[in-house]
Amino acid sequence: MKQESCHPVKPNLTPAGAALAGFLPGARRGGGYLDWFPVVLVMGMVWRRRWWRFIIGGINRPLIFMAIFAWNIGGSSAAGGYLEFLIPGLVIMSAVTASYTDLVGWFTQRRVYRRELDEYLLAPISNTSLLVGHVLGGGGKGFLIALMVFLTAHFSVVKFSFSFLLLAQLLIVSLAFACLAVAVAMVAGGDKEMLMFTNLIIFPMTFFCGTFFPVEQLPGPFAALSRGLPLTAATYNLRALALTGVNHFSWLGQSAGWLAALYLAAYLLLKIKRED
């Protein structure tokens, strides 16, 4: 009788799956504290090859807004006050765009079309490490893009206060929308559903959360709704930190609460997808 080989058959892995498998050998199936690091590394390897595209794509829109307003209404004191109001909102908008848009596209394509997510789900890595790795990779990129926009505005348009709490607020909102990107990617059936959610939820949110005008100027029900959205507290607190250096712990706490809620939602959806 012909004996079967005791050696397992190695599947054909994509570069991302091979890198993940190389860093996470089967002997470590129990997981470890740094299991999320290879996921961040794989994303960094991809972004390193296209770093100039991500930088240009992340900073072009807020810088265009900034330049248009500075060139056209920057001559009066009232216009200068509006620029001080506007720029922190543009920084938040760039953090949301860079954290959410790229990661939701990355995750959706790999889950629906390329089937690379199956390789991650079969790897000896916990749901927590898998989620944390993608959130840190996407949120970290959004944080760096937003920081570049903020520093560009600081040195070219308006002088702002700079503090550790400002960086913390910016990092919290970047991580929160990276969690939202993973959650949306777990339920989106393809690019069309992903774009529908982005156009109906994310795009309006970036305009109705105090970015271009105060929420208090909205009609009653819309103002009440806007105050409860994830971006409003982050925008107002970042603006206060940038202009006065004063932190509002209620706004910071609300942003941290949204981060925890969106992380939990992303974790539960990822767990359901992995069990399926």
Q: How far is CA 76 from CA 36, 63, 87, 197, 245, in A?
A: 50, 20, 17, 39, 24
Tokens 């994303």, residue located: 43
Domain ranges within the chain, ordered by starting residue:
35-275
127-156 vs 77-96: helix crossing angle, rounded to 10? 160
- Confidence band of 5 (pLDDT split at 50, 70, 90): very low
CA–CA separation, 71 and 254 (whole Å): 35
Least confident of 79-93, 140-154, 254-268: 79-93
d(CA 56, CA 34): 31
pLDDT above 90 covers a percentage of the chain that reads 22
- CA neighbor of 182 nearest in space, from 110, 256, 126, 233: 110
Residue of higher predicted confidence among 10 and 134: 134
Count CB neighbours of 121 within 10 A.
16
